[in-house]
Amino acid sequence: MGRLSTDLCGIELDNPVIPASGTFGFGWEFAEWYDINCLGTFSFKGTTKDPRFGNPTPRIAECASGMINAVGLQNPGVEQVIREELPKLKQVFRKKVMANVSGFSVEDYAFTCERLDGEEQVGWLEVNISCPNVHGGGMSFGTEPVAAAEVTRAVKKVTHKPVIMKLSPNVTDIADIARACEDAGADGISLINTLQGMRIDLRTRKPVLKNVMGGVSGPAVFPVALRMVWQVCRAVQIPVVGMGGISTAEDVLEMMMAGAAACEVGAANLVDPCACRRIIEDLPAAMDKYGIKSISELRGGH
């Protein structure tokens, strides 16, 4: 393993930097900016059983040190992802990709995961039980341990590849949810998804977002994400992928010191399409500055 290498559920990554779902499309779009094979891997756009247009506009709002989105899982549906998106990705990306899956029922999750589990380029299934921007799905499964465990068991029953459950921070005790997923067979945990928030337009006196509320992301949420990753890493024995406001190499090191096996970078990609490449390039110097010989020594190094 190289100096930046890390292991995620038995698959070696060249480095721990992973663009987060919803901020990197299906990958091939960013290949126009740089060689995306420099990434550890990436999590592609949240995919559901059926195509989704998403929420009505406006669905993006600015806030201090971040942004709010209520996109609502816009995607072409799993069959088109398999038929069109993955073949285009294969032309520009030689590594395993993380498939992000959402659903509106336990059966939806199981169906979509089973279909993607059969795709050669898919290395991990990141099961999103934490999206705050849809009604009747997503986060409703991730705010209660029994429901989170039910989705986990259903997906594990029909798949062979590592299953990483993506958790919501909009809960009272995130460690309880993580333990329930681990007990139900999850191979890993990723967190945090966005925090719920809103903005009001002072001129119209109405909410900026048509959906009223959306998910807050960006540097403002990093301390909250770090705290929750720290808590979950002490509650479970399976690998944890940390995310939430990461935008620098130092943020990656801090998140891994909290116990994360790898880190996802989200909103930073929307500010700078080359953010992940920059973070990877900056990692060796940041490690030298703090006397870190290899990324692997940070795992559990609290």
Tens digits of residue pLDDT in 111-150: 999 999 999 999 999 999 975 444 445 456 777 899 899 9
- Output the pTM of the full model: 0.95
Residue 72 is assigned to a structural domain of this protein: no
Residue 69 is assigned to a structural domain of this protein: no
Domain count for the chain, please give it. Answer: 1
Residue 248: CATH number of its domain: 3.20.20.70
Residue 61 is assigned to a structural domain of this protein: no
Residue 145 is assigned to a structural domain of this protein: yes
pLDDT score recorded for residue 267: 96
The overall average pLDDT reported for the chain is: 93
Residue 32 token pair: 């126009």
Residue 58 is assigned to a structural domain of this protein: no
How does pLDDT run across 205-214, given as a tens digit for each residue? 999 999 999 9
Q: What residues act catalytically?
A: 131
84-93, 135-144, 156-165, 223-232: which has the minimum mean pLDDT? 135-144
Q: How far apart are the first and last CA of the chain?
A: 22
Residue 41 is assigned to a structural domain of this protein: yes
Residue 206 is assigned to a structural domain of this protein: no
Question: Which structural domain range is residue 174 located in?
Answer: 6-52+77-195+217-298
How far is residue 293's CA from residue 102's CA, in Å, rounded to a whole number? Answer: 38
Residue 255 token pair: 């998140």
Whether 50 shows a pLDDT value over 50: the answer reads yes
Residue 210 is assigned to a structural domain of this protein: no
